[in-house]
Structure 1
Amino acid sequence: MRTHEQRDLTTRLSFLAETPAPPAVLDPSAVIARGQARLRRRRHALVGVVAGSTAAVLAGVLLLRPSGGVPAPAAPAPPASSSPTAAPTAANGPLSTEVRFGWLPSWLAGPSSVGYANTDGRSVATASTRTAVLNAVPDLKLELLRDTEQTLAPGLHTVAAPKVSGRDALWLVTDESGSTTGLRWMTESGRWAQLRATLWLNAKVQDDLLRVAADARFGSSDVPFPVKPTGVPADLRLRTAEVHRPTRDSEPPWSAMLSYTVGDKWLSVTVQPDGFGRFVDGRPNGGTPQCRVEKGVQLCANGTAAGIPSVQAVGGLTGLLKQFDVPGADEASWPR
């Protein structure tokens, strides 16, 4: 028996929606150190053991390609660098996005996949490939910033970049090393969009980012999702919805999470195909998870809100999991 890839959705959520991507430099030891630190954080999420290869999660957001036989998702990255990414189609589900990739560069093709997250209305799309360079997984993070201010994460400054679609653009540069880590540009709506890259290989990547930015698509649309809430208690506020794909063949072809809050308490429902271990939110004090398997899909729920009256009224965590329709593990079955 070998331990399944250990992942922590909470860490990925924080990386996707609340903090900037790490600075990208060409120092192999620094890249490896970042990957090892993320792996240690992710080791709290897995509570089951399955037969599968042990694989270290390296740097970057894990939005990975489906393994063999899984149909292409509704919003995949292109199979070749010259093909645009299909826009998500209306799913009437819990996840919507304001950002989508169009063109993606060759270093994210063969294969690459696109995942989405939305936290409190902040949309993020990430494209990643399982091809490792300097022990890290190259990926791009695209987001539409909430306001028009040019706020920056500590340790970054901006320098002028070529205009994107005729509008102002800025390179994001690290204060310490002077390495370019991303691109920020003004969109037609008057809000800033931002691209961050985990690796910078050469000057060609700058040209690639300018082209990715020019072809990025903005506008609200639903993302097909593996479950649909039907009777979740009204006082549970949906704060985060995300769907990911893995970077290695030992990973499930996809995973997803819905995170709810009520007051200072939280409750998460994690979803993935059955047979890849017990996958739960790894935040502290989450309590004992309860799981359900239907149509080849495993749903697990845990969190500090498990004991609130409204959750107990539907039968606790076990009853809560019955409040989700499950179309199936095949992404082609998801509402679209």
Structure 2
Amino acid sequence: MRSHEQRDLTARLSALAEAPAPPAALDTSAVIARGRGRLRRRRQALIGVVAGSTAAVLAGVLLLRPSGGPPVPAGPAPTAPSSLAPSPTATPAPAAHTGPLSAEARFGWLPEWLARPAVGYAVSDDRSVVTATTRTAVQNAVPSLKLELLRDPGESLAPGQHTATAPAVAGREARWLVTDASGAPVGLRWMTASGRWAQLNATVWSGAKVQDDLLRVAAGVEFGNRDVPFPVRPTGVPADLKLRNAEIHRPSRNSEPPWSAILSYTVDGKWLSVTIQPDGFGVFADGRPGGGTPVCRVEKGVQLCANGTAAGIPSVQRIGGLAGLLAQFDVLGADEASWAASGPADKPR
């Protein structure tokens, strides 16, 4: 997903965590209004996880993008079907994280109807979310999967939903998420090997095959806290800035950049966001009210932009304001192959 999606994700995350969104055009006000609506919809679609638990990390996004941006490279091919395997026991977390984003799970097997999936990771307020979206429409919809770890099995259901017994996943208890009106399943919850519960939601449901596929996806999920490859490394961010949200997304459409990322910080009720994407796709910045004009830096083909209501706090001013803050990030490059991390590097699909 792109930067917008990131915010979207953030928003989703924020939807996740509960927030509003925004983006761009030639008419600044029209651009911002249009962007916010898009971000809000994406956030809710892609994440909508922590809704109601915290304030949105990314309420708006200001996208001032040039027309006719470069095409996005085609995504990887889908993984060939494999035999159903149980969810592996959670692996221990690495001794130390080398990047700003770590994920507690990653997809293993994915169904053929999720062709050429773009995988994204996000953590907001300690809620870990993984998404996989295809650019190929199925039944007039864009298929996607959202995987998240729950805090408890009875965590709040969406309005109009209840649970029903589902076949065991790797020998452990599982429950369908069912809509009250139609009685049709829209998701799956199951207990993982660590004793925590996971939830999987799909946007496309076409009878028993999709249900079987969801059970197979769940059984193939790999758990374990591992670093997610990321385009930058924070080196000297002021200690009072607390990382609230971190995301990275691949595109869900050909008009998006090949990837986009965001880091959102909070301090004393104020916020500050750093957005990251390949250079040449316009300015991608958090568009929440009061965020001010973004300050940007380009290095190794990567554009970083920062803005937020915490731009004027003493610790940020001591390092040179937003420009000084951006200097506190090591840029690894626009090519994902340059992003060293212990995992989970997505398997070829």
The alignment's TM-score, normalised by the length of structure 1, stands at 0.80
1:244-264 deviation per Cα after TM superposition (whole angstroms, max 9, x unaligned): 011122210000000101021
Q: For residue 11 of structure 2, what is the aligned residue in structure 1?
A: 14
Q: Distance in 1 between matches of 2:150 and 2:200?
A: 11
1:46 touches 1:277 (CA, 8 Å); kept in 2? no
The verdict on how the C-alpha distance between 1:100 and 1:82 changes in structure 2, with shifts beyond 3 A counting, is same
Runs of 5+ consecutive residues of structure 1 not aligned to the other structure? 21-35, 55-64
Against the structure 1 CA distance between its residues 40 and 188, is the aligned structure 2 distance closer, same or farther, given a 3 Å change threshold?
closer
Q: Which residue of 2 aligns with 1:96?
A: 102
Contact 2:6 2:249 in 1 (8 A): no
Matched, 1:333 2:338: yes
Contact 1:158 1:173 in 2 (8 A): yes
In 2, distance between residues paired with 1:324 and 1:40? 26
Q: 2:73 aligns with which of 67, 78, 83?
A: 67
The 1:83–1:164 alpha-carbon spacing in structure 2 relative to 1, beyond 3 Å, is closer
- The alignment's C-alpha RMSD in Å is 2.9
SS state of the match for residue 311, structure 2? coil
Q: Which residue of 1 aligns with 2:80?
A: 81
Q: 1:164 aligns with which of 169, 190, 196?
A: 169
Q: Secondary structure at the match of 1:211?
A: helix
Kindly state the Cα deviation for residue 129 of structure 1 after the two structures are TM-superposed.
Answer: 0.5
Mapped contact 1:243–1:254 kept (Cα < 8 A): yes
1:207 aligns with 2:223: no
SS of residue in 1 equivalent to 2:285: coil
Q: Is the 8 A contact 1:48 1:277 kept in 2?
A: yes
Q: Secondary structure, in 3 states, of the residue corresponding to 1:107?
A: coil
Q: CA deviation at 1:122?
A: 1.4
For the residues of structure 2 that align with 1:40 and 1:151, how far apart are their CA atoms? 23
Q: Residues 11 and 331 (structure 1 numbering): CA distance in 2 closer, same or farther, change over 3 Å? A: closer
Q: CA deviation at 1:191?
A: 1.2
Match for residue 151 of structure 1? 156
* CA displacement, residues 90-135 of structure 1 (integer Å, 9 cap, x when unaligned): 97100001111111100112x1121100112211111110012344
Is there any run of 5+ residues in structure 2 with no aligned partner, and where?
Answer: 18-34, 43-59, 84-90, 342-349
- AA paired with 1:128? T
**Deviation readout 1:246-305 (Å, 9 max, x if unpaired):** 112221000000010102111110000000111011222211111111010000011111
- For the Cα contact (< 8 Å) 1:9–1:281, is it kept in 2? no
- Matched residue, 1:26: none
Change over 3 Å in CA distance of 1:231–1:83 after alignment to 2: farther
Q: 1:147 to 1:204 in 2, by over 3 A?
A: same
Map 1:110-189; keep pairs closer than 5 Å: 111-189=116-194
Please report how far the alpha carbon of residue 42 of structure 1 lies from its aligned counterpart in structure 2 after TM superposition. Answer: 6.7
TM-score by length of structure 2 reads: 0.78
Q: Identity of aligned pairs, percent?
A: 65
